[in-house]
Structure formats: structure tokens, C-alpha cells
Amino acid sequence: MDWGMKNRLARIIKPETGRGVMLAVDHGYFLGPTERLEVPRKTIQPLLPYADSLMLTRGVLRTSVDANFPIPIVLRVSGGSSIIGKDLSNEKITTSIKDAIRLNVTALALSIFVGARYEHESLVSLAKLVNEGEEYGIPVLAVTAIGKELEKRDERYLSLSCRIAAEFGAHLVKTYYCENFEKVVNKCPVPLIIAGGPKLENEHDALQLTYDAIQAGAVGVDMGRNIWQSDYPVSMIKAVRAIVHENHTVKEAHDLFNKLKTTEQSAKTATSV
Ligand code: 5RP
């Protein structure tokens, strides 16, 4: 791997622990003003100091993140469908490599839709993006998207999807956690990170998901809703970090969350009076 590529990846997956916490706030690209991400700057700003990298679109990057805050950016460069449209898999590359370079991004992210109507287009887009990324030393994160079919999150499907992403040259793959996740990890020759998916019933469940994924071999998370839809997002991202980087157990991380949320609540109350 070339120096630039290695250096960029090391900004996402920290060499000190071999793991990373990526904060996902790209949801608006097909969901519009997602709950608790209605005003992106307000959601993102307090979480920035605790994320190793930030995944988002160029529109939210330019409007809602200060350029002088040194956080590595993972730029979503695919899109073209909305939640009320006909087919979520109908995506293309929406952002040029030139603009990504202008934005000084650390990695490029694109969804693939294995088994969906536009499978072919999404895979060819991944190949094209990897070609461009290789040319400029910018890693590509492939997202194994499932659209509205949440039931697709099983070992068989995710193994297929992750492996195809790696075969196409993705440098990092984001997927979902599932039972027997270690089998998905073993069959994918590049590092895997997990999405949180829709908000779980409580923070404990999201911490358990994080812990199980790390134990099974994921190198980190690319988590969104289970962090910023929590009533205590700063406490939550800190607890997730503790599992990812400090090998906390679920109980230790949950205790930490409970301790931190008291301070977060007091800070909220102080600013609202
Ligand atoms: C949407 C995405 C999201 O970034 C991804 O799903 C992570 O966010 P969450 O933890 O909320 O699922 O790629 O296509």
C-alpha cells in the first residue's frame, strides 16, 4: 500500500489500538431531515471531539462543520434515491474525486446493493471509485446497503456482500452485525466496521452490539442513530469509545454511560435556564 493510502487509513483506524470510532451523519442523503439530525451542526458539534472520523456528504460538510476542526472526513459520494422514491438501490457516484480532494477528505464512501435491482450499477460504481481512489491514494469505504430490507442482515447475505466489496478493492467495509459475525469477518480480507442501524430500545443494547462486533473481529464502528438519537449523545459516544479503544466490557461501558449522563443532563439544564 502506498504511503498516502496507509497514512489516510491510519487516521481512521488508529494505529494505537488498531480500531476506530467513525461517527455517521450522512443519513440525510436519502432520509432528509432525520430525527435529531434536523440541524446537522447542532447534532455534530458536541460529538466531534470524541469521534476519530466523521462520515457525511459534501453538503453537510460545507455548511455544518468548521474547516478548522481537524477531524478526518469520510465523504459519502453515492446517492440518487430517496426513502419515498421507487428503489433505494438506484444510486450513482454523486461527487467528483476533484471535489473530494478539494475538501481534503481522508476516505470516500459508497453503498453497494448486492442482490438488489441496481446491484450491477452499484458494483461498477465501486470499481470506478476504487480506481480513482488508488490513483490519488484515497481509501474507499464500501457500505453494504440493504435498503428497507432489514431482514437481510444475516451471515450468508453479509458474507456475500462484504466479500464482493473486498474483491472489488474496497479498503474498508461497513456492514451490519449479525449472529456468527466472526464468520463474516473471516471471509472478508479487509477490515470491517459496523453500522448501528435503527435506534435500539436502549443504550445498553447498542453497547452490547458494539461489544459483540468488536469481540467478533470488527475494527470499529460507523455509528449514527444509536449515538445521536440517544438523550445523552456525548455520554453515549464516550461509552462506545471505551469499548472500541479501551476494551471495556458492556457493564463497564454502561456504568460509564450512566455516570456521564448525569453531567450531560446538568449541562443541558444549565444552558436551558
Ligand atoms: C446510511 C449509512 C449510515 O451511515 C449507516 O447506516 C450508519 O448509521 P446508523 O448507525 O445510524 O445505521 O451508511 O446508508
The alpha carbon of 271 and the centre of ligand 1 are apart by a number of angstroms equal to 30
Strand 78-79 versus strand 92-93 pairing type:
antiparallel
CA dist., res. 162 & res. 166, Å (int): 6
Distance CA 32, CA 37 (A): 9
Q: Residue 222 contacts by C-beta under 8 Å, 6 or more apart in sequence?
A: 22, 23, 24, 55, 74, 141, 174, 193, 194, 195
pTM: 0.96
**Letter string b/e over residues 215-226, b meaning 16 or more CB atoms within 10 A of that residue's CB:** ebebbbbbbbbb
pLDDT of residue 39: 98
What pLDDT was estimated at residue 206?
98
CA angle at 159 for the pair 157 and 160, rounded to the nearest 5°? 65
For residue 272, report the distance from its CA to the centre of ligand 1, in Å: 30
Expressed in angstroms, the distance from the first to the final Cα of the chain is: 54
Q: Which atom of ligand 1 is nearest to the CA of 76?
A: 13
Specify the pLDDT at position 149: 77
Structure confidence by residue, pLDDT tens digits, 10-63? 999 999 999 999 999 999 999 999 999 999 999 999 999 999 999 999 999 999
Separation between Cα atoms, residue 66 and residue 62, nearest integer Å:
8
How many A from CA of 227 to the centre of ligand 1? 11
Looking at residue 147, its pLDDT comes to 75
CA–CA separation, 32 and 5 (whole Å) = 32
Cβ < 6 A, ligand 1 pocket: 24, 26-27, 55, 111, 143, 145, 195-197, 222-226
The residue ranges of every structural domain in the chain are 3-198
For the domain spanning 3-198, the CATH number is 3.20.20.70
**Low-confidence stretches of the chain (pLDDT beneath 50):** none
Is 174 known to be catalytic?
A: yes
Amino acid (one-letter) located at 16:
E
Which residues, including other chains, have CB under 8 Å from residue 40's CB and lie 6 or more apart?
25, 28, 56, 60, 63, 64
C-alpha cell recorded at residue 183: 464468520
Rounded Cα distance, 156 and 19, in Å = 25
Closest C-alpha to ligand 1, atom 5 = 195
**225 CA: nearest ligand 1 atom:** 11
Strand partners, 78: 93
CA of 163 to the centre of ligand 1 (A): 19
Residue 196 CA: nearest ligand 1 atom is 10
**Residue 78, SS3?**
strand
In angstroms, the CA 61 to CA 235 distance is 24
The 10 Å Cβ neighbour count of residue 153 is: 17
Tracing cell 440541524 back to the chain, one arrives at 39
Number of H helices, E strands in the chain: 12, 10
Q: Whose CA is nearest to atom 1 of ligand 1?
A: 27
Type of residue at 230? S
Which of 37, 222, 225, 228, when mutated, tests ligand 1's pocket best, judged by the most ligand atoms within 8 Å of its CB?
A: 222
